[in-house]
Every structure is written in structure tokens, then in C-alpha cells.
Chain A
């Protein structure tokens, strides 16, 4: 399982995760609330491009994020053009695409272990409501390790059904996948208990 993270040593890469998230939320809100005219779109575009340059990311990485946002652009532009004047449709679509591409920069410059640590720290104030930060971190880590396991179950079921000549059918696929996933959860629970971890 490969995340979107791109390694680097820039200011953005070294910034503390919590502070970085606050900065990105602020920048996204600023673009969301102020960008209404075409020149504001251009200044927002310059800002986003500067951000990518500051992170030491190449134009190719930026381009791949534009490609990743293609469905948002397409699904937004079509109804907007239908219901709104063309200039508004383009401005709205550009604004949303820019915010999405800016938000991607946060993910591109933050390592998953740092995000897990930051989440654990952010959960500390909720201890009084019965949420234990260690348990949250454990669930996140178990989920990351379970994704390839459950993807493997899906492949196994598909192969088994193909071998028996059963055409792929949603119901005959979903039920064994659910059972295997829940049994995997019970195995994990035994493994966690055996190691004396109190989640």
C-alpha cells in the first residue's frame, strides 16, 4: 500500500504536522471565500504553484494532481455550464480544483507515521470521554496492515469462483469476503490479546 507521500527536505516537509494542517485549512478557506473573479483565480493558481515549488515538487507532480482531480473538474463543470453563465462555471470549477490540489500538497509532504503520531496526540483531550489515544493508534495501524490481507481474500475468492466456473456475482462474492474479513478480525483479536495489549 503506497501513500501519496513524496519524500523531501523542504520547509513544508519539516513543518510540525498539526501546524501544517492548520495552515492548509486556513489557506483553503481563504481561497474558498475570496476567489470569485478570474484574476483571483489566477492569483490563487500562482499561490498553489508557489506552494508546490516551495515543497521542491516538480511540475510533473503538480500535473499528476491536476490529472487526479479530472473527475471533480468534469463532474463540476458539466452541470455548472448547464445552469450558470460560462464565466461563473469556469471560476467555480477552477476554485474547487485549486483547493483540492492545494489540499493534496499537505498529503504529499506528510509521512503516514507522522500523521499517526499526530492523530494519537490530537486524541489525548478526548481521553475523558472514554476515547483512548493508544486504542485509536492501534486501530489505524491494524487497518493499514489489514488492507493487503483483505485484498488478498478478495483475490482468493475471485480465483476460487473462476476455477469453479461461477461467473462473478456480487452476492456470492460479498458474503464470503465479509466472513473471511470478520474471521481475520477475530484472529487479530487473539494475536493482540496474546501479546498482552489492552486496546
Chain B
């Protein structure tokens, strides 16, 4: 399931573009969410889409690239945050979880065929984008804040409804993108999915 074509230039630039896209999703006012009234982050949506569109390894490369730039001090985490502080605060585990989560999302979403199916994409987003991310995020948050695990898990449930909505959105967007622009899902120079296919024909 992890077998993919060799890495080529197009993959390198897609990883860069996706990392930049996740950064833009964190810029204040760049993307309208409920009219900008609710400080909800769309970046976890970007993480889910990186997995479903780029696949496990290119997706993970995009997340690593994004997080390297956060460490470098670009204010690209939602709310204009950034810098090394992100990796020592309570949210550190969630950032770590994104890396493993996107591998799980990509692996589940691309199992069988590369054509996304709605149920497989939804399972991938919930498992990788929520379960795996929380599995890293909550224990590390408990360790950092020294609040017991159960209480930390309880306080984290406030993010669960939003994350479930994002999993639904990621599924709908992935399937819409497949219909609108199937080239998005082509991996490297894999002859089964020639990148030069004219999808508008």
C-alpha cells in the first residue's frame, strides 16, 4: 500500500505548495470561517487533505516542511503564532501527532485504489486526523501541563465537534476535487496516472 512511484520534481513542488497552503490556512483573515467570528483553525483540515491528496509520504513531507517553518519563526500557526515555543507548549503533541496522523490518513485513503471513496476517506480522516492526533496530543499535553490524563482528555473534548466537522469537510472536498481535478491525485511519474492527461477533454 506504500508502494509509490519515484519522487520527481513535481512531487517536490507539490509538497512545498501544500506546506504553503497549510500556512495560508493559518494566516488571520485569509480564509473565511463563519465570517471570521469564531477563532477555529482550518489547519487540521489542511493536514487531512495533505493525507488524502498527497498520500502518506508526500503528505508527511508537507507537514514536516510546514512545521520546520513554524520552528524557524514564521507566524503561520492559526492566530499568527509560530516559533520554537510551539514545540514546547501544550500543543507540541498535536504538532507531532499531525506527522503520524497524515501517514495514517494517506495509507487508509489510498488503500485498494487511488480513486477516493467517500467511506474510506471519512474513515481515514477520523482515524488519522482525530484518533492518531489525539493519541499523541493528549498524553503530551498532560505531561507538559501536569494535569492528569483523564482531565486533559476531558478538556480536549471541546475540540472534538470541530474536528468531526473538519473530517466531513475534508471528505467532501477530497471527493469534489477528484471530480474537478483528478490530476491532483497523480503520484509522480507513475505510468498508470500520466501527469500530462488533459482532464478537461
What residues make up the interface of A, taking CB atoms closer than 8 Å to B?
A: 1-5, 24, 28, 32, 65, 68-69, 71-72, 75-76, 79-80, 82-84, 88, 92-93, 96, 99-101, 103-104, 106-108, 110, 112, 115-116, 119, 135, 138-140, 142-144, 146-147, 149-151, 154-155, 158, 168, 170-171, 173-175, 177-179, 181-182, 184-186, 188-189, 192-193, 197, 199
Contacts and interface: CB of A to CB of B under 8 A. Distances in A.
Nearest to A178: B177
Given A119-B68, A181-B18, A186 B85 contact: no
Is the contact region of chain B dominated by helix, strand, or loop, or is it mixed?
Answer: helix
Contacts of A5: 73
A96 B83 contact: no
B131 interface: no
B20 A149 contact: yes
Nearest to B176: A175
B12 A135 contact: yes
Contacts of A119: 68
Contacts, number: 204
Interface of B: 8-10, 12-21, 23-24, 27, 30-33, 35, 45, 49, 53, 61, 65-66, 68-69, 71-76, 79, 81-85, 87-91, 144-148, 151-152, 154-155, 169, 172-173, 176-177, 180-181, 183-184, 195
Contacts of A185: 10, 13-14, 16-18
B74 A3 contact: yes
Nearest to A175: B176
A76 B145 contact: yes
A171 B175 CA distance: 11
Contacts of B172: 171
B180 A92 contact: no
7 contacts: A92-B146, A107-B84, A142-B12, A142-B16, A170-B32, A186-B13, A192-B13
